């Protein structure tokens, strides 16, 4: 990226000359009809109304990930990257067209993130990136996303309550907006050249502004909605461009409407779309909401818009919206009914969805109902046909994005009177098979273990201040102890060794020896750097959730079920299909081996129950909290076995605790109560001298700080630097935190290496609001995605900064 910032790269929206071909996605499983293999030159709109909110952009085998990383490493050209991207778009559009989808989205593809694309479209580039106007190119675009040698990246945080991360826009009163990326119209024309008429998708102005943050130096009280009149002229230019290109529909994604907005915000929403009314003339307009119910007042605001042709609702997570539709839905408008789940991988219950559609028919009329996904399919895996690890029974219960497209069309055809009886019969048998399968239910777990959970709040018997004193006597740590979050770089050789061991190409003895040598390297490096509490680097682990799920009952794993987390980072969520137990110890062998390599404390590394839950595809046949308690009991057994093996510091990561927080205020307390309870279950039985750490990252934690305190961990490490030290503000506001805490001192998702002086300044800011007796020094997150050159330099500077401030404290 240091080189990238110096190049003048082509515009983000430019097209490659001759894209090579990718195979189209499959529509398997066997019980679903395949999209036709013929490729008509032009696609005619179907009579039945079907729609897809959005589609995964990474490719069925992560083609975009590998193209991006190769480009960033300087191994391939801009043309190579753009060719892969064009291939993916073509393959996606053709799959939807072949499957019979009427309303096909465009501009849902992104090289990094759709919010960053909108920032580029609006020309809202922070001044530190040196953009001087004109069409935004990859140099500026990727610098905003990843940082470069001289400037840090923009903040990254979770997209609503998903595991997808977006790049947070930085806005202030002086920002000058301009139409600086023509990506939306370029991709519309690209699809049109293939004979496919698409539905351009834009992040709506309200969602964009309300998910932004005040730029550095701007008062936190700055009203982001005050910029609405400045961004609407750019939206109007985009609309004019799309109309000139022949667009007949436009989709505005406004998921912010499912949040608890106040009266002034809803009025600003109505005013914004009224202001664009003349520009929208000649276009059909869809406003799509998703992820939850639309509150009554927001629904009322939506229905008041005269310029809108259709409204899209999530009818999987937003069933209460049905009541609002029954009470009032404007005549003549289209209802885009999101009945196919865009966030999970279970096959749709077609008969149940058809009943929902028939209920809507009675309200709005058959011709006004469009069958759709509940949200973008971005949040699910790409194509089930690529799965070779799943057994036939389990596979029959599932549907990935490619299959969900076929489900949408099957429902649309049936709803229009052309029901495929064989398909529906097969679907019903698969639903029944899952309900009755003995592999799903473990009676002892259901009746005994989870029932016992409800009899206690599972708090440790002594206060954290007492425990910290006992732990310090045992650990004898210096002031401002340094540590890392867990993972060290995952090299190509390391990944190869794990693959070969799984494929039985190398013996267990050779595998263990290789991992041991990697541990020795990581331990030696940390000791040379002077880090106080060590980690073994997690060389044996593929993923912080998958590693544990592979050793727990009730979990299944895919070979290619990848989902984008951010940029080129993809995760392969486990599938929780049944009751969860721990057949045997999972980490004790490895942690014990690592502890014997050093006299310093070595953390035992575990993933917490809430994170395992939130980063998995979870069974939808029982409440989520019951599944979470099952996982918590399994992790509790592991914690106690680690303690028996002599591990005195145990980290139980809850990186995703905030992510699962419901979007509506009225539902948040119940979630936080059971989520915090699940964490406490894991460690309630350990001795006072055993130090329990947890870790959280890349979310806004300030509004749940009291629940974090209630988790009762001895030490929490938490992302702080990439979010511009937002976390520290909660302590400025008077919140008292008596446990150990390590706000991150540098961003590990950027290749940029901070100086010791910069890190020292961050530590000083922390000491202004936190006692030196509880402050820890650590990076924002794990080091898995970085290389060893970056890691050595950054950690060396981190330790030097800690020693500098430590010496200053000693003098004072």
Give the active site residues.
Answer: 749
Instruction: Give the CA count within 13 Å in the CB-facing half-sphere of 691.
Output: 23
Any idea what DSSP says for residue 24?
A: P
Bridge-based pairing of strands 555-556 and 575-576 is antiparallel
3-state SS assignment for residue 249: strand
CB distance 104 to 93 below 8 Å? yes
C-alpha span between 382 and 196 (Å, rounded): 21
Query: If we measure between CA atoms, which residue out of 570, 158, 618 comes closest to residue 345?
Result: 618
Sign of CA dihedral 232, 203, 659, 571: negative
Query: If we measure between CA atoms, which residue out of 525, 661, 515 comes closest to residue 594?
Result: 515
User: Which residues sit opposite 311 in a β-bridge?
Assistant: 287, 335
| Residue 345 φ/ψ, nearest 5 degrees | -115, 15
C-alpha span between 32 and 399 (Å, rounded): 10
Long-range contacts of 520-528 (CB under 8 A, 24+ apart): 520/597, 522/488, 523/594, 523/597, 523/598, 523/602, 525/792, 526/484, 526/600, 526/795, 527/598, 527/600
Cα-based distances in Å from 788 to 460, 488, 590 = 39, 8, 22
End-to-end, the C-alpha distance of the chain in Å comes to: 41
Helix (H) or strand (E) holding 313: strand 310-314
3-state SS assignment for residue 615: coil
C-alpha span between 662 and 659 (Å, rounded): 8
Bridge-based pairing of strands 569-571 and 563-566 is antiparallel
Q: Give the CA angle between residues 181, 405, 211 to the nearest 5°.
A: 40
Residues with Cβ within 8 Å of residue 476, at least 6 apart in sequence: none
User: Tokens in use for 708?
Assistant: 């974090």
C-alpha span between 720 and 151 (Å, rounded): 17
Any idea what DSSP says for residue 289?
A: -
Any idea what DSSP says for residue 36?
A: P
Which residue has tokens 């391939």? 76
3-state SS assignment for residue 372: strand
Helix (H) or strand (E) holding 670: helix 668-683
Which residue has tokens 């609309």? 239
User: Which residues sit opposite 288 in a β-bridge?
Assistant: 253, 312
Report the 3 state secondary structure along 573-641. Answer: CCEECCCCCCCCCCCHHHHHHHHCCCCCCEEEEEECHHHHHHCCEECCCCCHHHHHHHHHHHHHHHHHH
C-alpha span between 592 and 12 (Å, rounded): 50
Instruction: Give the CA count within 13 Å in the CB-facing half-sphere of 96.
Output: 33
Helix (H) or strand (E) holding 641: helix 624-644
C-alpha span between 405 and 232 (Å, rounded): 33
User: Which residues sit opposite 313 in a β-bridge?
Assistant: 337
User: Tokens in use for 754?
Assistant: 């901070």
């Amino acid at each position: 990226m240091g080189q990238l910032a110096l190049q003048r790269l082509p515009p983000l929206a430019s097209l490659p000359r001759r894209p090579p071909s990718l195979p189209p996605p499959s529509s398997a499983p066997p019980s679903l009809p395949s999209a036709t293999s013929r490729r008509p030159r032009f696609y005619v709109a179907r009579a039945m109304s079907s729609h897809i909110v959005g589609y995964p952009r990474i490719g069925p085998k992560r083609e975009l990930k590998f193209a991006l990383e190769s480009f960033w490493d300087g191994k391939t050209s801009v043309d190579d990257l753009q060719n892969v991207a064009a291939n993916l778009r073509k393959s996606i559009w053709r799959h939807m067209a072949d499957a019979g989808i009427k309303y096909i989205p465009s501009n849902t593809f992104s090289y990094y993130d759709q919010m960053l694309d909108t920032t580029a479209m609006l020309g809202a580039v922070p001044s530190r990136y040196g953009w001087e106007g004109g069409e935004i190119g990859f140099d500026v675009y990727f610098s905003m996303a990843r940082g470069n040698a001289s400037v840090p990246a923009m903040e990254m945080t979770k997209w609503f309550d998903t595991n997808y991360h977006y790049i947070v826009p930085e806005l202030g009163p002086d920002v000058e907006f301009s139409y600086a990326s023509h990506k939306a119209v370029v991709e519309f024309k690209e699809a049109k050249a293939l004979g496919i008429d698409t539905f351009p998708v834009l992040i709506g102005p309200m969602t964009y502004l309300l998910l932004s943050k005040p730029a550095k130096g701007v008062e936190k009280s700055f009203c982001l909605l005050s910029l609405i009149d400045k961004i609407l002229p750019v939206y109007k230019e985009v609309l004019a461009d799309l109309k000139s290109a022949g667009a007949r529909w436009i989709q505005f994604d406004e998921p912010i409407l499912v949040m608890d907005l106040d009266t002034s915000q809803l009025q600003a929403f109505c005013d914004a779309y009224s202001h664009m009314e003349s520009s929208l003339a000649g276009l059909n307009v869809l406003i799509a909401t998703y992820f939850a119910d639309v509150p009554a007042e927001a629904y009322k605001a939506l229905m008041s818009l005269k310029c809108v042709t259709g409204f899209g609702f999530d009818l999987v997570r937003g069933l209460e919206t049905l009541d609002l539709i029954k009470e009032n839905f404007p005549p003549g408008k289209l209802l885009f009914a999101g009945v196919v789940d865009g966030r999970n991988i279970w096959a749709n219950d077609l008969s149940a969805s058809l009943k929902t559609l028939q209920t809507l028919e009675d309200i709005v009329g058959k011709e006004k109902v469009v069958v759709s996904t509940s949200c973008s399919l971005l949040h699910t895996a790409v194509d089930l046909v690529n799965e070779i690890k799943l057994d036939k029974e389990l596979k029959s219960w599932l549907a990935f994005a490619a299959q969900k497209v076929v489900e949408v069309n099957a429902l649309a055809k049936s709803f229009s009177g052309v029901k495929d009886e064989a398909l529906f019969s097969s679907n019903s048998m698969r639903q029944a098979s899952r309900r009755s399968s003995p592999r799903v239910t473990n009676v002892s777990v259901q009746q005994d273990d989870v029932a016992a959970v409800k009899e206690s709040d599972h708090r440790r018997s002594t206060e954290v201040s007492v425990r910290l004193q006992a732990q310090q006597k045992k650990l004898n740590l210096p002031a401002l102890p340094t540590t890392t979050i867990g993972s060290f770089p995952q090299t190509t050789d390391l990944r190869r060794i794990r693959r070969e061991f799984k494929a039985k190409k190398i013996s267990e003895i050779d595998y263990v020896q290789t991992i041991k040598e990697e541990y020795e390297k990581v331990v030696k490096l940390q000791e040379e750097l002077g880090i106080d509490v060590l980690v073994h680097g997690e060389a044996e682990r593929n993923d912080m959730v998958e590693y544990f799920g592979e050793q727990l009952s009730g979990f299944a794993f895919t070979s290619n079920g990848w989902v984008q987390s951010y940029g080129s980072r993809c995760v392969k969520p486990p599938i929780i299909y049944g009751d969860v137990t721990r057949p045997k110890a999972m980490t004790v062998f490895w942690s014990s081996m690592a502890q014997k390599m050093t006299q310093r404390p070595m953390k035992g590394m575990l993933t917490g129950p809430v994170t395992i839950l939130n980063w998995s595809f979870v069974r939808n046949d029982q409440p989520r909290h019951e599944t979470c308690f099952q996982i918590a009991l399994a992790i509790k057994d592991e914690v106690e076995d680690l303690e028996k093996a002599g591990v005195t510091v145990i980290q139980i990561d809850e990186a995703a605790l905030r992510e699962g927080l419901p979007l509506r205020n009225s539902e948040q307390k119940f979630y936080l109560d059971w989520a915090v309870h699940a964490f406490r279950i894991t460690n309630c039985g350990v001795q006072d001298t055993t130090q329990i750490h947890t870790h959280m990252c890349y979310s806004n934690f300030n509004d749940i700080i009291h629940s974090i305190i209630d988790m009762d961990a001895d030490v929490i490490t938490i992302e702080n630097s990439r979010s511009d030290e937002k976390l520290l503000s909660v302590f400025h506001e008077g919140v008292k935190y008596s446990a150990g805490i390590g706000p991150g001192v540098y961003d590990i998702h950027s290749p940029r290496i901070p100086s010791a002086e910069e890190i020292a300044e961050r530590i000083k800011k922390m000491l202004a609001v936190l006692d030196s007796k509880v402050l820890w020094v650590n990076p924002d997150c794990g080091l898995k995605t970085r290389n060893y050159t970056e890691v050595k330099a950054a950690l060396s500077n981190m330790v030097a900064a800690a020693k500098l401030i430590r010496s200053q404290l000693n003098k004072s």
